Amino acid sequence: MEKEKIYEQLEIAAHRAYARGIQTGNGGNCSARMEGGMIVKSSGGSLADCNKEGEGFVETTLDGEVLSPSGKPTREVFLHGLMYKIADELGLSVGGVMHCHSPWAISWSYSKKALPMTTLHMQLKVGCDLPVVDVKTASVQPEDEPAIRKLFEENPKLPGFILVGHGVVALGKDILAAEHMAELFEETAQIAITKAACEKLGIY
Ligand SMILES: [Zn+2]
């Protein structure tokens, strides 16, 4: 895909995540694969303010070294690079990664149980429960790599995971697909929680 098109998709995905409320304020980050590396959200700023002209983004290698322009990538740059490296190693088609602090998914994550395929949509589109990973720091670090890598080795079709008390990591063939996947995770978590509440209240 041409770089111009990738930036257009990044803008649409970033704005959509903000508009849908799966990310508020200046948290969350996203990236898309490009030749020779990735385009990743820069540090600080809101997804709402990133644009296709390149504001709010920085181009880096998969190891997080800045290529252009000068700027500081998100603190989650390691996570984004790791996702593409794992995808390459396992022959998976991953062109975009959306990481956001979506409230229902975070709420579910405190259970430390995999998010079940509560809805038909999740069964059809994902076909597996969504694992929850307990990372001890505010951002994914190299020491977390083995646990994350293992998830994909066990299930190469896995479209993402949830970080305990933190947020979701959603993958897609491009950043638009990754953003849609993040929305599906959030929808599923909301329904799983409300369903559990209904059962507890004796509604059914
Ligand atoms: Zn985060």
| Centre of ligand 1 from the C-alpha of residue 108, in Å | 16
pLDDT value of residue 71: 87
| Centre of ligand 1 from the C-alpha of residue 9, in Å | 21
Domain count, the chain: 1
Distance from C-alpha of 179 to C-alpha of 96, rounded to nearest angstrom: 8
| Centre of ligand 1 from the C-alpha of residue 99, in Å | 6
| Centre of ligand 1 from the C-alpha of residue 152, in Å | 20
Q: The tokens 């597996």 sit on which residue?
A: 128
CATH number at residue 28: 3.40.225.10
Closest CA to 9 of 128, 98, 142: 98
Question: Which structural domain range is residue 169 located in?
Answer: 3-200
pLDDT digits (tens, 9 = 90+) for 95-138: 999 999 999 999 999 999 999 999 999 999 999 999 999 999 99
| Centre of ligand 1 from the C-alpha of residue 200, in Å | 31
| Centre of ligand 1 from the C-alpha of residue 165, in Å | 10
**DSSP H or E segment with residue 33:** strand 29-34
Distance from C-alpha of 185 to C-alpha of 55, rounded to nearest angstrom: 28
Residues of the chain with pLDDT under 50: none
| Centre of ligand 1 from the C-alpha of residue 118, in Å | 25
pLDDT value of residue 61: 98
Q: pTM of the full predicted structure?
A: 0.97
| Centre of ligand 1 from the C-alpha of residue 166, in Å | 6
| Centre of ligand 1 from the C-alpha of residue 80, in Å | 11
